[in-house]
């Protein structure tokens, strides 16, 4: 049902178009043109103005039969290094040439939705109502979906094509995440002449971090320090340091407990040395969880059974636009497209899984 060669060609063409986060315009313009060439009306919101992107979210409604309207969504941006990607076919996989990421996250998702939709329109096949939502600036904060104009959307359920792993992967639960931005304020003094009069923000921050439980906390919770930064001359006791950290959990209770633990460690250490800490906490996205018997999951499983694909329901350690859709009252699950090693130079896409998920998308649109 899906033209494998055209799907591969589409993906390789898409990843060659630069679209690092905040710079999605060229790719966005191409997608708009391709949707318009299919005879569809395309809308864009004004999200880019709010989040310093040169593009906006794309929305397209395709009228169909029945009441089973669904969102089909993926994001247009890629992480760095994503300039001048050169995709290569290699033993059943698509890889980059090793100098950049591949961009399967998430241009594989865009390709899957576009190819399924193109096939249906070309063949003039009966289909369900389809809502296309392609977002900007997903990487680093889900900012496109957070600023999407939800008044445009009619569907109450949908699919996001943005999970790594083999085809058949259904993300039935995903975590909440909080981000901590911390400024540690000490006291400057001459490091050689009177270091006793100084309060080293570096020492305070380092000791606070050393007292924290980090990385894998339990099977539902993780925590990580991403940035510890301070700059200054070696002959000055450094008065300022900056820390960025995150906490994720499938449990809101555990999320709060771990966050409070990290805050307490910072505040107690600062008090010990008569330093100060300024802590800003951002709620990035909420958790979602669906039962294995949920109707939307059963819908996907039925499509997979028809194609001989074994469904595998599992939780994820990362968030996606599905979390934000859920927050806005749209039941959405994330599906695996065959990608591996996302956000690294080793990123690859298994072609067989990629093609199979495009076929799943086609069935979801038509069954």
Residues identified as active-site: 77, 138
d(CA 226, CA 63): 45
The span from the CA of 239 to the CA of 191, in Å, is 11
Among 135, 159, 163, 162, residue whose Cα is nearest residue 71: 159
Short-list 227, 239, 45, CA closest to 143: 45
H helices of the chain, in order, are 4-15, 25-37, 47-51, 104-122, 143-146, 201-210, 252-272, 295-306, 321-327, 351-366
User: How many other CB atoms are there within 10 angstroms of residue 345's CB atom?
Assistant: 14
The dihedral over CA atoms of 168, 347, 350, 301, expressed in degrees to the nearest 10, equals 10
d(CA 207, CA 79): 32
Torsion of CA 110, 115, 116, 118, to 10 degrees: 120
Report d(CA 281, CA 263) in Å as an integer: 10
Residue 233 contacts by C-beta under 8 Å, 6 or more apart in sequence?
none
Question: What is the rounded distance in angstroms from the CA atom of residue 38 to the CA atom of residue 234?
Answer: 63
């Amino acid at each position: 049902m899906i033209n494998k060669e055209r799907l591969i060609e589409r993906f390789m063409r898409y990843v060659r178009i630069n679209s690092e986060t905040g710079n999605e315009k060229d790719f966005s313009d191409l997608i708009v043109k391709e949707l318009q060439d299919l005879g569809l009306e395309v809308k864009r919101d004004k999200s880019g103005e709010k989040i310093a992107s040169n593009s906006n979210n794309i929305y397209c409604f395709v009228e169909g039969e029945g009441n089973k309207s669904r969102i089909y969504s993926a994001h247009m941006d890629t992480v760095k290094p994503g300039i001048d990607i050169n995709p290569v076919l290699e033993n059943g996989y698509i890889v980059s040439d090793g100098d950049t990421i591949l961009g399967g996250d998430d241009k594989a998702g865009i390709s899957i939705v576009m190819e399924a939709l193109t096939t249906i329109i070309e063949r003039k096949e009966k289909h369900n109502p389809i809502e296309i939502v392609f977002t900007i600036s997903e990487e680093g904060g889900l900012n496109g979906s957070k600023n999407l104009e939800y008044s445009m959307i009619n569907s109450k359920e949908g699919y996001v094509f943005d999970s790594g792993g083999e085809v058949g992967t259904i993300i039935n639960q995903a975590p909440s995440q909080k981000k901590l931005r911390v400024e540690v304020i000490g006291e400057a003094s001459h490091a050689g002449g009177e270091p006793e009069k100084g309060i080293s923000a570096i020492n305070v921050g380092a000791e606070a971090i050393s007292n924290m439980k980090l990385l894998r906390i339990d099977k539902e919770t993780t925590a990580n320090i991403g940035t510890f930064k301070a700059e200054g001359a070696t002959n000055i006791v450094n008065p300022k340091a900056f820390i960025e950290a995150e906490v994720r959990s499938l449990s809101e209770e555990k999320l709060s407990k771990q966050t409070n633990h990290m805050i307490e460690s910072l505040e107690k250490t600062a008090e010990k040395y008569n330093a100060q800490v300024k802590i800003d906490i951002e709620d990035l996205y909420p958790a979602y969880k669906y039962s294995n018997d949920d109707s939307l999951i059963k819908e996907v499983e039925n499509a997979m059974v028809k194609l001989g694909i074994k469904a595998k329901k599992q939780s994820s350690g990362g968030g996606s636009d599905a979390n934000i859709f859920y927050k806005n009252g749209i039941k959405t699950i994330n599906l695996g497209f065959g990608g591996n090693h996302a956000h690294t130079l080793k990123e690859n896409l298994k072609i067989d899984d990629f093609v199979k998920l495009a076929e799943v998308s086609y069935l979801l649109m038509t069954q």
